[in-house]
Chain A
Amino acid sequence: DTEVTQTPKHLVMGMTNKKSLKCEQHMGHRAMYWYKQKAKKPPELMFVYSYEKLSINESVPSRFSPECPNSSLLNLHLHALQPEDSALYLCASSPWGGGGGITQYFGPGTRLTVL
């Protein structure tokens, strides 16, 4: 099973809403990532979790709050977003944290629209 799943596929939310994006993998990977991708742009790294600990936070605004409840799950909690936060949010995982695990496996993404 080389699958990373993400729910929901699509999400529309208002600027005052609170919502969460979920990501799950059962490959035993110990590093998980959140990326943001705007149209016609490359994926941009937001957060990296390595062995369930936040290891990289790429200066992401606090209205995005990641959470890694266990080694298989990664959440992204959203609150008071802005319309410019509308994008495809991609989750990825790789076999090991630290130096191992070259390949990152991506989920299909959640298409987020903020009204």
Chain B
Amino acid sequence: DQQVKQNSPSLSVQEGRISILNCDYTNSMFDYFLWYKKYPAEGPTFLISISSIKDKNEDGRFTVFLNKSAKHLSLHIVPSQPGDSAVYFCAARFLNQAGTALIFGKGTTLSVSS
């Protein structure tokens, strides 16, 4: 059973427009949510995170919104650039006495055309 879901496998956007990537989760115990970007043959690169007690976090062109009641978060990229084309993973962090770990969604492939 997937605890973190990215239901859109791909998204195509024109340069300069907004990209919105969505993520849903099922476990109320997650305390942080993170977005990672991954290019082929590279490891995931951290983009932005949000605490479960916040509803918005912004960093430059990237904004993450959290709707805790809907168990839904989204990543907005404005304006989108061709270099943003990559696979975007949503990840949720859980913390227990053994330590912390991330659970990843399946990813959304973003293509930004010029």
- Give residues in A with beta carbon < 8 Å to B: 4, 6, 31, 33, 40-45, 48, 50, 55-56, 58, 90, 92, 94, 97-99, 101-109, 111
CB–CB A45/B44 < 8 A:
no
The verdict on A42 contacting B104 (CB below 8 Å), with A56-B99, A103-B49 known, is yes
Say whether B93 faces chain A, with CB atoms less than 8 Å apart.
Answer: yes
The verdict on A45 contacting B43 (CB below 8 Å), with A99-B95, A102-B32 known, is no
Number of A-B contacts (CB under 8 A): 69
The verdict on A102 contacting B42 (CB below 8 Å), with A43-B104, A45-B103, A97-B99 known, is no
Closest beta carbon of chain A to B86's beta carbon, Å: 14
Interface of chain B residues 62 through 114 with chain A (CB within 8 A): 89, 93, 95, 98-107
CB–CB A55/B49 < 8 A:
no
Say whether B45 faces chain A, with CB atoms less than 8 Å apart.
Answer: yes
Say whether B21 faces chain A, with CB atoms less than 8 Å apart.
Answer: no
Most chain A C-beta atoms within 10 Å of own C-beta, residue among B36, B99, B103, B106: B99
Can you give 12 contacting A-B residue pairs, CB < 8 Å? Answer: A31-B99, A41-B106, A42-B106, A44-B104, A50-B98, A94-B100, A98-B100, A106-B44, A106-B46, A107-B43, A108-B42, A109-B43
CB–CB B100/A101 < 8 A:
yes
Say whether B53 faces chain A, with CB atoms less than 8 Å apart.
Answer: no
Most chain A C-beta atoms within 10 Å of own C-beta, residue among B34, B44, B105: B44
